[in-house]
Amino acid sequence: MSRNRCDGLLAKVDFPLYTLQTLTDRHVLVAGGGGASNTGVANGFEVFELSHNGTRFVAEEVMRYETGPNVVMTCAVRDIENRTYLTAGQESHCQLYRVNVRVVDAAEVRRGSFRAENGLVRRRRRTVSENDNISKADNTSSTEKRMSFEIRPADSVQTDFGDDPLQRVVRISNNGKLMATGGTDGKVRVWSFPKMQLLFELEGHTKELDDVDFSPCDTNLVSIAKDGFAYVWGTEAKAPPQMKLACQPPNGTKYLFRRCRFGAVEDKPGEYRLFTIANPLSRSGRQRGLLQQWAGGELRRGAATREALSALAVRADGRFVGVGTMFSGSVDIYIAFSLQRVVHVRAAHRMFVTGLQFLAPRGPAARADAALLSISVDNRLCVHTLPHPGTMPAWVAILLIIFVLFCTFSICSYLDI
């Protein structure tokens, strides 16, 4: 199977990457930075357009937007009534951006005639895998259209009020009406979106938040924190948590949740599963992470990994789960229902994986059963794929054709035909 995967480096930027989101079926946004110190490392976003050249995925830079001294640690994207909104965690605040999408001539994009709001030229720079110096002929006609993006800052609200305030996570509901944030003060805050007006606070955690997520139908919200618990809340109004979950390791060792994601259940609208990853509280010895599947507050399945985990993603249709590791920078893809591992990419990154995102099974990703993007503080954006069932490497197909032709020729010669 590995011979037929088109894994590899898609792009490398000049700042550490902490978060990524898909803008369209073929556009991905990555964000991060070096912080407020005078290191010379930028902070901001980059947008890449993905395509497939018949052999592997290719990424081309569409635009870059710098956020000054504010590093982007978390972000979320949502389309509402044909408008795209981007929220980014910047220190104690959540910054709202409007992403304007324009269809322009490809020739104009190549000439760099469009400028971002902060004066940075929107470049379309060819960025491909280090393993394959693909040269794409620039034979695009002047009538070909491309999508261009413009990021404009809008409102900003403070979302965390701890002693050292820091927004650690932000998520937007699937219907685009709510936004949830969490930070160091341990409170989950639910806001109207995109107005970003505080609706209510959910109190229950005693330590800083690590992750939150909305259920597919937006009726529930899950949160996890460094206190070791996961709470499932209703999203209609402020109320006590509906469920309280604690990690259930197989060997009795105390584990802490690290990330949480809801996933839809195929052919069962309105139902969902909850997936969590957890790591041992003790740092002594070899750490083994846990991927667990929950339903109705009950632990249904679990899978142990060889090392601690740092990132989690679930595809929108609920078919696949992806995890990234803490030390070796490896990436795995699991079947969501059974938690059977179907892809393992060892040392996909040089450092721990900071973010994962599945591509929708359309556009370039339609060439594979699943396509998972990953980022790290090593500044790299990579893709990892699961081939369609029944596919075979090209060299095997060629050998098979040659063998069939040889057998046919031999039979014809024997029969004197």
pLDDT tens digit string along 99-119? 998 887 765 555 443 333 333
The DSSP line for 257-292 is EEEEEEEE-TT-TT-EEEEEEEEES--SS----EEE
Domain containing 349 equals 2-414
Q: How many whole angstroms separate alpha carbon 35 and alpha carbon 16?
A: 10
Residue 56 near residue 36 (C-beta atoms within 8 A)? no
Model confidence pLDDT, tens digit, residues 383-404: 999 998 865 556 666 777 888 8
* Residues in Cβ contact with 34 at an 8 Å cutoff, skipping those fewer than 6 apart: 15, 16, 40, 41, 42, 43, 71
Question: What is the pTM for the complete model shown?
Answer: 0.84
Residue type, 317: D
Two tokens, residue 221? 């919200």
Q: Is 179 helix (H, G, I), strand (E, B) or coil?
A: strand
pLDDT recorded at residue 131: 38
Residue type, 296: G
The stretches of 93-228 forming alpha helices (DSSP H) are 106-111
Angle at 52 between CA 389 and CA 75, to 5 degrees: 95
Regions of the chain with pLDDT less than 50: 1-5, 111-142
Largest CA distance in the chain: 91
pLDDT recorded at residue 266: 78
| Number of domains forming the structure of the chain | 1
Residue 220 near residue 230 (C-beta atoms within 8 A)? no
Report the CATH number at residue 210.
2.130.10.10
With CA atoms as reference, report the closest residue to 233 among 299, 188, 168.
Answer: 188
Q: How many whole angstroms separate alpha carbon 114 and alpha carbon 148?
A: 9
